[in-house]
Structure 1
Amino acid sequence: MALHPEGVFTGGPLFQLVAVVCRDGEPPEREVARLRRVLGAAYWEEPWRAVLQPLASQADYLAVTFSEEFFAGCPEYARRAWLGAAGQLSVPGFLGELAGLLRASDRAGPAGYDTVPLARWEAVARFPLLRSLDTWAYDGEHDSFEAALRARIDGEHPCCDEELVPFVAQAQTALHLCAASSHFRERFLSFDESVTPRALRVVVDMGNAHLAAHHR
């Protein structure tokens, strides 16, 4: 069986973080704070999650075992992301700095949206089911958002635990955060014009009504 150890530099939360730092040019500590918020939204047993302390240990390990020869064998897009994120630092030096930022963010807890604004990538990562809510609502098959959502719910039934439950949960979470933080609301609603408070309320109300009627 073929081995692909270069995956440590090309995938997973650590690489996604590095790619964002390289692409968007914001300070790494801000992106780490956003990653902390995204990972903190996963409420299952911690050993099964990619939480910050294990990610910090992964960064430390990659730093102390770093090999230019091995790194040269990674895909170009991955090398470009790591080198771009590292800036003036070497890749091992950047990994050490990143490990420190991950541990500091874990100790500090989630940052407020007033101090670290919501980023588009963060919204996409945390609310993947809330993208382009109207693309399947107004494609000529349905005359309203409600009718399209009903068709979607009926299409998912009876396997509603796979998508409808997280769909409703993401919509309710977004509504809660919009009500709790004007900073979150302004940014979140600016990323996708189809994601409106009304649309989110329809998802929650119709989704919960279906779940109450058919899955209790």
Structure 2
Amino acid sequence: MTSYPGAVGDNGAVSRLLDLAIACNETPGAELDDELARFCRTVRNSPEASWAMPVATITAVLDLLSEYVEEKEPGQLSAGFTERVVRAAAGIPVPEYLRLLSGLVRIRDREPVPDFAALPMADWEAELRFDRIGQFWWYVDSGEYELFDEGVREGVSSEHPNGCRIELSALAAQLQTALILFPTTASMAEGLGKVAPSASPLVLQAVLDAIHRHFAEEH
């Protein structure tokens, strides 16, 4: 059974950092420093994440986890965490690696948040930042609806009435953000292609306009 301290490594911020480290180890050309900068950008750009678990707290958890791991026998840690942290450490002793990772994240957190021109959005960032667009895109790309307008109307009205205040308003905010960040078809294909493969500024604006009409007519 996973102990509560051990579960820290299986979920949440520590787990996400290990995933990023593993991906960098196993992907040619990937840079851990860039991924840590994106991680810090994600947390710092989210009021909810920064309120619940600021980056400084995450680094403290890594330090405490390194001490916890140092005191335990291998069999006392969850199998999933052990396997993933060993892959992330790539030969470095696990307690030492967790302290190293904590220090690297702390360094990135002291620096200004890089904008998307300086450090382009990664696919995992886009999937997280534009999750509502990704969910909605079924109404656009699934082939279920013969006409684009029909699919958009169905998607927008599917949240009515209870979902409009949270889900639909969040979708509208994400659409507007994407239109500002990716003003051209080429930039949108690069930044949003993983989330919404057929997205373009015209298509996103049409969906946003449909949401605004729904709010005006139904609320």
Structure 2 counterparts to residues 17-166 of structure 1, below 5 A: 17-25=17-25, 26-44=30-48, 46=50, 48-67=51-70, 69=72, 72-131=75-134, 133-137=136-140, 139=142, 141-159=144-162, 160-166=164-170
Distance 1:174 1:16, change over 3 A: same
**Which residue is 1:194 aligned to?**
198
Q: In the TM superposition, what is the alpha-carbon distance from 1:78 to its structure 2 partner? A: 2.6
Aligned length: 211
Aligned Cα RMSD in Å? Answer: 2.7
Q: In the TM superposition, what is the alpha-carbon distance from 1:153 to its structure 2 partner? A: 1.8
Distance 1:54 1:19, change over 3 A: same
Question: Are 1:37 and 1:111, in contact at CA under 8 Å, matched by a contact in 2?
Answer: yes
User: Secondary structure of the equivalent of 2:197?
Assistant: coil
User: Secondary structure of the equivalent of 2:38?
Assistant: helix
In the superposition, the TM-score normalised over structure 2's length comes to 0.81
Identical positions, percent: 27
Letter in 2 for 1:198: L
Name the CA distance, whole Å, in 1 between partners of 2:209 and 2:45.
Answer: 22
Structure 1: 5+ residue stretches without partners: none
Question: Are 1:118 and 1:188, in contact at CA under 8 Å, matched by a contact in 2?
Answer: yes
| Higher mean displacement: 136-145 or 78-87 | 136-145
Letter in 1 for 2:40: R
Question: Are 1:130 and 1:171, in contact at CA under 8 Å, matched by a contact in 2?
Answer: yes
Q: In the TM superposition, what is the alpha-carbon distance from 1:116 to its structure 2 partner? A: 2.9
Distance 1:211 1:94, change over 3 A: farther
**Which residue is 1:211 aligned to?**
215
Structure 2: 5+ residue stretches without partners: none
Question: Are 1:133 and 1:194, in contact at CA under 8 Å, matched by a contact in 2?
Answer: no
